[in-house]
Structure formats: C-alpha cells, structure tokens
Amino acid sequence: MVKLEIDGQKIEVEEGTTILEASKKAHIKIPTLCYEENLSIFGGCRLCVVEIEGEDNLKPSCATMVQEGMVVQTHSPTVREVRKNLFELIIASHDIDCNLNCLTCSRSQNCDLREIAADIGVTEIRVPPLDKGYDVDESSFSIVREPNKCITCGRCIRKCEEIQGVGIFTTANRGPSTIVTTFEDKGIGNVECTNCGQCILACPTGALHEVYHYENVWDALHDKDKHVVVQTAPATRVAIAEPFGAEPGTVATGQMVAALRRLGFDKVFDTNFTADLTIMEEGTELIERINNEGTLPLFTSCSPGWIKFIEHQYPEYLDHVSSCKSPQQMFGAVAKSYYAEQHNIDKDDLVVVSIMPCTAKKFEAVRDEMKEDVDYSLTTRELSRMIKQAGIDIMNLEDEDYDQLLGVSSGAADIFGSSGGVMEAALRTAYEIITGTELDNIDFNNVRGLEGLKEGSVVINDMEIKVAVANGLGNARILLEKMKNGEEYHFIEFMACPGGCIGGGGQPLPASNEILEKRMEAIYDIDKNKKLRKSHENPMIKKIYEEYLGEPGGHKSHELLHTHYKERGI
C-alpha cells in the first residue's frame, strides 16, 4: 500500500494505482477527455493534469502512478488556470460556430465537453473557433462521422483496436492536421467496419453517431396509407428509461409500449417473440448438426456486428454460423408474411420498424439477402429522441401490454439482451426437447456475467455438450484462435458488443461498466419474474408453427427464417 496526500486528504491506495484512480477513491472528480476505463492510457488531452509537490511541470493524473509520500493538488490555482486555458483551445478546435450547431449535435443532450466546461467553470472563450473544413463521412449504412467535431482524443481508435480487435480507425498526418480517419481515407462504409457502434459510445463529442432513420419513421407514422408496426429488442427495455433521468437498470417495458402507441404505431410487437422463434430454429439446427455429424461448433447469428466481423476476418468459419436470421429479421419476415396475410394488409403498405440497442442492425436491414424484411431500424437513442420530440412523459405513463400475437414471449427471449442469454435460452430448450424431461434448474449461471469469455458444459443424454460465450469482438477473435489451436466446442454464442446487446452501440450514453452491470441485472430480473421462461413453451410460438410455419427447420421456416452469408475480405 502507498500513502499519499491528495488535496489535503491523507489516503492509502494500492501500489500501481494512478493519481486519477486514487482521487476517485478520495471522492475527487478530475476532468478527463481521452481517458476511458477499459482502454489503454493515451495521456493526450492533458485536462487531468495535477500539481505534484517538487515537480516543475504538471503531470497527467491518468498516466502518473502514486508514490509514497506524494503530495498532490488536483485543483490548485495553477491547475485551474491551465485547465481553463486548455479547454478554450479544445473548444476552438471543435467546430462550434454561429450556426448554433451545438443545438443540432447528436450529443446536445449529453455532451461530455459541456459537462467538463461546467466543472472547470469556463467563463470566456478568447480563441476563435477554427473551421477545419473536413467532409462528413456518410459512407456507412450504420455510422456517420463528422471529423470537424473530432478532437482526436483517440478513444474510438483504441476502442475499435483494443476492445473489438478490428482497428478500422487510425491517426493520420501531424500537427494541427492530425486527424482520425480510416485506411486511405476510404470511409467507414468501405473498410472492414462491423458497424458495432462501440466507437460512438467511446466518443466524448458528437463526431460519431448513427445514421438516423427516425425522420423516415415519422413520415411513415404520418402517412395514413401505411400500416406501421414496431418491434422492440430485448435490451431496449432496460435502457430506454435512462435518457429520461431514471436510474440505470430501470425496467420500462410497459411504459415503452405505451409510448410507442402514443407515437402512433398501429401495432406494438416484441422482437422477443422472434427471439423465442430463433431458439426453436437454432435449437433444431444444433440438434440436427449433432445428430447428423454436421459442422460443429455451431455459431450463433443474432449479432450483425459479429456476422460482418466473421465475414471479413474469418470467412473460413462461415460454415459454422447458424443459418437462422437474427430475431430482427425473423420478425420482419413473419410480419410481412404471416401477419400481413392474417390481417389482409397489402405488403407494400406495411412498414416494419425495429427499436434496437444496435447500430449494426441498420446495416443488417439492408443486406441483399433479406432487405425486404425490415424497413427502418432505430437505436434506443433514436427512440428516446422521438419520445422527447412528441412531448411524451414516458416515465409517468401507465404500463401497457404488447399486441397479440407477435408480442408474446418467454423469459428466455428477454435474456437475449445480455451476453450468455442466447446460449442459456438455447440450452433450456435443447435439453428438454432432446431428453423429454424437465430441467431441475433452468439458470445456467456459468454463462452469465460481463466477463468477455465464458465456458461451460452441459450433459444431455450422456453427451457432454461443450459451450462457450464471447462478447466483444476482441474476445471473439481470441476464441476463434483457440479453436484454430484445436480447442473443441459444440455451440458458441458470439456477441459483437461488450456485455452483449445491453452494451450495444445504439444504447443510451453514458455506458460505463457500472451501468452495463445494472442493465444486466435488470434483464435477469425480468426473466426471473416471468412465469413463461422457456421458448418452446411459448403458446404463440406453438400456434405459429401449427397455423403457418409447420415445423422448426421445415420448408416454410427455411424460406422465411433462414439466410446465408458471404466472404468479404480485408
């Protein structure tokens, strides 16, 4: 342990602690911009500098380790002056101009720079804003980049490289021309971006945001000739309350349904329904592959960021990926066939909107293989914008239920929103279908939690099924490399985002580890409190097979619910 003094408080911390971490323990907030938990230390923004007794220069607290007897001042007059000056310079490089573009920024509601400005107590900006004159990168179906707002803190670069193991961003040029860009400045849509949107969560400014679809959705809602239905992904219900000031982990399923009705959606359905359907299809596929010596392990296919990752990086493993469409796409396919037929709605008049914790879903929705299924995919953040635009006081609405029949789901579907959930849901069903006996304990705790890599095994009819779960694409890569080195599994769940969909790139900001944990707890609470907790017991799933689809893995299912992938190269 190391003893030191910070702002007059004597504290004791472990060796190897940074001054920033030690200050946090002493309940002192030091402003940071380029620092982010989980990422390597960059030490570029210098906002976190502190004064250390005996040192001539100020030191970045994020990159300076505590030492025995150190006397630190985190907010001395010099430090405050330097931070103010520094902040003036940062703001001048951030494309704020007379067009009030602060108001139209994607981060107008939760801007890190504004928060820091308030903390520092910035009272004047003496340096003129500089027009950097870069073009907006609109090459991607999922993500927009506005380089003029970028302050080159490098968080997106590190997130993509260190956490996701993809690395589409890099720093180019030097001096004030230093920019963050993609390989040969090709644009996000033309490199091996997986569209996961983790860079958006990392960005402290509005330089990165999703491609907005909500204006199109407003148009559809106001078009009297259109019948507009909406589906909500599992992870949205534990996050939608956050932009309205609720504590992270607040479950707002019923209020979200009520808000969606008020926005004018004709039917409010649940992606959970098709999550249950996915389990039936994917479970059947797993059983078939095991029984018929098919390609194993089977890889899940729900996460479109993961799918694009494997298409670029590990195309040799594409045979392993389940042919099941993701729940979003299954929903679109079922809505545009079964639902449209049942209600005599012309397919051309039916608009399917999805609310997703995800930016990659926008890309998935326009994939050639299935681009008719879903018309618009909105992030949780976009939905919160629409609710605000409509003046709906969501947190004071009475709970409402989803519409029948595409709105009925089991707890197994809810846990799709969290890393390990698809695996657990599949095991609940596969076990009972194969053995014909009921599980004593349906909680598979070893695949739960925020850990990046989880493994476990289940004995089904004397056969040991080895399973693994990876969340975050960096971990996906580790697992695939393990397989290359001979590790064997039967079934692997892959999710592009750390923590699974609860930590998706379309979720509200901020998204710290602590917030992810609370969302995860909320997801498992929903499951625990449901009577219906296994996909194959969902009565509406049974009904749709009886009335329309036939049997899991059957002809009709294959036509509607399955797809294929392609090698994309690097």
Partner 1 sequence: MSEKYFLKENMEKNVSDYDFSAFKKALKMGQNKVIKEIEDSGLKGRGGAGFPTGFKWKLASQQEADLKYFICNGDEGEPGTFKDRLLMEDSPVKVLEGIMIGAFAVGASQGYIYIRGEYAKPIKIFNKIIKEAKKEQVLGENIFGSDFSFEMKLIKGAGAYVCGDETSLINSIEGHRGISRIKPPYPIEKGLFDKPTVVNNVETLSCAAEIINQGSDTYNELGTENSRGTKLVCLSGDINEPGVYEVEFGSMTIREIIQEFGKGIKNNKELKFVIPGGISTSILSNDKIDIPYTYEDIEKAESSLGSGALIVVAKGHDLIDLMLNASRFYMDETCGTCFPCREGNRQVHHMLKKAMGKGIDHNKTELIKDIGKTIRLASRCGLGQSSLNFIGSVIDEYPNELLIGGVDNG
Site for partner 1, rule CB under 8 A: 33, 41-47, 49, 57-58, 60, 63, 65, 78, 81-82, 85-86, 89-90, 92-93, 126-128, 130, 151-152, 171, 173-178
Give the nearest distance from C-beta 474 to partner 1 in angstroms.
Answer: 20
Give the nearest distance from C-beta 60 to partner 1 in angstroms.
Answer: 8
Concerning whether 196 is annotated as a catalytic residue, the answer is: no
Encoded tokens for 548 = 């329309």
Which residue among the candidates 302, 324, 358, 497 is catalytic per the annotation?
Answer: 302
Which residue among the candidates 267, 361, 454, 534 is catalytic per the annotation?
Answer: 361
The residue type at 354: S
- For the residues of 156-208, what is the DSSP string, one character each? HHHIIIIISS---EEEES-GGG-EEEEGGG--GGGTT-----HHHHH-SSSSE
Give the nearest distance from C-beta 484 to partner 1 in angstroms.
Answer: 27
Whichever of 157 and 412 has its CB closer to partner 1, that residue is 157
Helix (H, G, I), strand (E, B) or coil at 257: helix
Give the nearest distance from C-beta 171 to partner 1 in angstroms.
Answer: 6
The span from the CA of 186 to the CA of 283, in Å, is: 40
131 close to 168: Cβ distance less than 8 angstroms: no
Concerning whether 551 is annotated as a catalytic residue, the answer is: no
Helix (H, G, I), strand (E, B) or coil at 328: helix
The 3-state secondary structure of 167-180 reads CCEEEECCHHHCEE
Give the nearest distance from C-beta 63 to partner 1 in angstroms.
Answer: 5
What's the distance, Cα to Cα, between the start and end of the chain in Å?
47
Encoded tokens for 423 = 């695996």
Concerning whether 369 is annotated as a catalytic residue, the answer is: yes
Whichever of 37 and 124 has its CB closer to partner 1, that residue is 124
Give the dihedral sign, CA 209/213/218/221.
Answer: negative
Which residue among the candidates 281, 282, 382, 424 is catalytic per the annotation?
Answer: 282
Whichever of 42 and 491 has its CB closer to partner 1, that residue is 42
Which residue among the candidates 364, 382, 424, 432 is catalytic per the annotation?
Answer: 364
Give the nearest distance from C-beta 49 to partner 1 in angstroms.
Answer: 5
Pairing of β 491-495 and β 463-471: parallel
How far apart, in Å, are the Cα atoms of 560 and each of 168, 329, 337, 424, 475? 34, 9, 8, 25, 31
377 close to 225: Cβ distance less than 8 angstroms: no
Give the nearest distance from C-beta 146 to partner 1 in angstroms.
Answer: 18
Whichever of 180 and 298 has its CB closer to partner 1, that residue is 180
Whichever of 44 and 510 has its CB closer to partner 1, that residue is 44
Q: Please, is 487 exposed, middle or buried when counting C-beta atoms within 10 Å of its C-beta (0-12, 13-18, 19+)?
A: middle
- Closest Cα partner for 233 from 28, 136, 377? 377
524 close to 415: Cβ distance less than 8 angstroms: yes
Which residue among the candidates 146, 242, 281, 285 is catalytic per the annotation?
Answer: 285
Whichever of 51 and 281 has its CB closer to partner 1, that residue is 51
Which residue among the candidates 23, 140, 303, 322 is catalytic per the annotation?
Answer: 322
Whichever of 80 and 558 has its CB closer to partner 1, that residue is 80
Which residue among the candidates 341, 369, 559, 567 is catalytic per the annotation?
Answer: 369
The span from the CA of 375 to the CA of 352, in Å, is: 5
Concerning whether 364 is annotated as a catalytic residue, the answer is: yes
Whichever of 10 and 174 has its CB closer to partner 1, that residue is 174
Whichever of 86 and 433 has its CB closer to partner 1, that residue is 86
The span from the CA of 318 to the CA of 441, in Å, is: 33
The span from the CA of 518 to the CA of 49, in Å, is: 31
The residue type at 546: E
60 close to 34: Cβ distance less than 8 angstroms: no
Give the nearest distance from C-beta 108 to partner 1 in angstroms.
Answer: 23
Give the nearest distance from C-beta 82 to partner 1 in angstroms.
Answer: 5
Pairing of β 143-145 and β 267-270: unpaired
Give the nearest distance from C-beta 289 to partner 1 in angstroms.
Answer: 44
Q: Which residues contact 546 (CB under 8 A, 6 or more apart)?
A: none
Give the dihedral sign, CA 298/303/306/311.
Answer: positive
Give the nearest distance from C-beta 187 to partner 1 in angstroms.
Answer: 21
Concerning whether 438 is annotated as a catalytic residue, the answer is: no
- For the residues of 440-459, what is the DSSP string, one character each? S----GGG-SS-SEEEEEEE
Concerning whether 285 is annotated as a catalytic residue, the answer is: yes
Whichever of 27 and 126 has its CB closer to partner 1, that residue is 126
Q: Please, is 128 exposed, middle or buried when counting C-beta atoms within 10 Å of its C-beta (0-12, 13-18, 19+)?
A: exposed
Whichever of 59 and 556 has its CB closer to partner 1, that residue is 59
220 close to 353: Cβ distance less than 8 angstroms: yes
Q: Catalytic amino acids?
A: 282, 285, 302, 322, 361, 364, 369, 501
